[in-house]
Structure 1
Amino acid sequence: MTDRELPPLNALRAFEAAARHQSVSRAADELHVTHGAVSRQLRLLEEALGRPLFTRQGRQLALTEAGEQLRDGAGAAFDQLRDAWASVRRPAQAPFVLGCAGSVLARWVIPRLDRLGRDLPELKLHLSAQEEPLTPALGGLDGALLIGAPPWPVNWQVSVLAPERIGPVVSPRYAGWSRLAGQPANALIDEPVLHTASRPQAWRDWSAAAGLPTPPHTLGQGFAHLYYLLEAALAGLGVAIAPEPLVADDLASGRLVAPWGFRQTSASWVLATPARGADPRAPSLARWLEHALASDEAVR
C-alpha cells in the first residue's frame, strides 16, 4: 500500500464502528450486517496493515497502539463526512427552525424580524415557541435562543450572545407609582411584587445583586409565564421583574420605567445548536443576535 492509497473503505467503516463500541456484535447491529461480516472486514484491514488492531479482553475488544491511532483518525474523518452529507442533503431553501420561549418570541424576536429579514435575506426562519425544557437533542430544532447557564448538554454547541440582566419594571399607570417614584430600591422590600413561576428566583437574585438585605417580603399576583407577567405590568397591576431585552421597547416608549436598574445574573443569552451536523447558517444568525442584543443595550 502506498502512502496515498486508502484502506478498504468497507473494512474501515466496520473498524470505526467496532472501535467505538468496543464490540463486534454492537458494530454489526449498527451496520445491519452479521457478526461474521464485521469480523471478516476487521481481518481484511489487519492483513492490509500487516499488524493487529485489536486484542481481546474477555468479551470486549481492546485497541492496540495502532488501533488507537487509526480509531482517532477514522472517527474524525467519519464525523466530518457525516456532517458534510447532512449539510448537502439539507434543502437549500429549507427554513432554519429556531425555538425560543414564548415570551422571548413575542417580546423580542418578532419585533425584530423585519430587521433580521433585511440584514440576513438568505435566512428563512421558522419560529417555534418552546414552553417545555429543551431536550439534549434539541427536539428537531436547528437552533434555540434561550437564557440559561452551564453546564450545557454535551451534544450542544453553544454561542454566548450576551450576559443576562434583570431588573424591576413598573408602569406609570400603577396606582402605587406616586408612592414609589424617587424612592431607593429598598422601598421594594415591603412592596407586594408581581412574579412568575417560570423564574421563581428572579427577585432573590436581583435583590442580592442590588445589595438589598432581603428580597421583597410579599409576593403579589403570580403568573405562569413571563409574557403574562409583563402584560400585567403594562396594565398597571404592579412592579414586575424582567430580563432587560424583553422590556427594551417598552422602556424606550415610556410604557414602563426601570428606576432601580438592571443587574447581571449568572445566566447568559445563548444560541444552542447541535454539536454535530449544525446548520451552516447558524454562525451568521448568532452574530446577528449578538449584535442586536448589544444594540439594544447601546440605545439605553
Structure 2
Amino acid sequence: MSAFDVPDEVARAFRLELFQDHLALERGSADTTREAYARDVARFALFARTAGAAAPADATPRALREFVFHLKDLGLAPSSIRRTVSAVRTYYRFLVSEGHVAKDPSERLETPKRWRTLPEVLTVAEVERLLASPSVEEPLAFRDRAMLELAYGAGLRVSEWIGLRVQDLVFDDQLLRVFGKGSKERLVPIGRSAIGAAAVYLRELRPRLEKGQGKGILFLNARGEPLTRMGAWTILRKHVERAGIEKAVSPHTLRHSFATHLLEGGADLRAVQEMLGHADIATTQIYTHVDREFLRSVHRQYHPRP
C-alpha cells in the first residue's frame, strides 16, 4: 500500500504524489489543508478505480456526482463533503494545467446543498436484468443474487449492505433488521424473491464459505471473511456490465431505485421514510420530484414552444 492508504498502482495511475507536491510547492497550502486534500483525493481515486476508471481521465462528471453521493452515504458532515469537492476540483485543475487530462469533469460538480435532482435511477426492467445476472454455474452466484436482492429489496446503504448479520434476517416475519447511521435500528419488509435468495445462500453456500472468520456477518468473500465495501462495488459492477446496463450504477443507485419505484407505485411518503431510515422527511421528499423532473425534460425536448 502507498502512503495514501490506497494500492500503489492506484496512487501511480492517479498521480497522487505529484498532486501532493503541487499542494506543498505551488499552492503553499497549510499542513492541515494539504493533508486533508491529499486524503480526500486518495479516497476519490480509490472510489474511481473501484467504479471502473483506470486513470483520472476516465472519470466522468456522472461518476464524480456518484462519488459525492457516496460520501453522503458514509455519513460525512456537509462541511467535509464540501471540502472534498473543493479538493477534487483543485486536483483536476492541476491535472489539466499539467496536461495530464484534457477535460475537467469537476467543473459543474455541486455540493449537496445545491442538489435538486437525483443520480441515475434504474428502471424496473433494468433491475430485473441486474437481479437475473448471477449465473447458477458460478461458485458465488447464490451470494451475489442474495446481495443484489436485499440491497434493492430493502433500499440499503452500502454500509448497511455489507454490515448485515445472519441474525438480522427475520424470515418468519419477512423482515430485515438494519442498523443505519448512528447505529439506529429499523425493520424493513422484504419480498419473497429476496427472502428466497437469502435462504438459498444461507443453506447452500455460506456454510461452505465460513472458515471461522465470518464474525456472524451475512455476506462473505471467497476467503470466508466479511465482504468489504470495495468487494461489494466490484461485484455490483460485474453484474451491471453483464446485464448490459450502460448507466453509472453504484450501491446507492439501488437505494434510489428502491425509493423511486415505491413512490411511483403509490407508497406513502412516511412509510418510505421509515424504510430508508431518514431522520427528516425532507430528505425523502426529493424522490417525489423525480416524475416531475422527467415530465419537464420531456416537455422541453418535444414541445414546439419549450
Q: TM-score, normalised by structure 2?
A: 0.26
Structure 1 or 2, whichever has the larger Rg, is 1
Bigger helix fraction: 2
Q: Tell me: higher relative CO, structure 1 or 2? Use CA pairs within 8 A at least 6 residues apart.
A: 1
**Normalised TM-score (structure 1):** 0.26
Larger strand proportion of the pair? 1
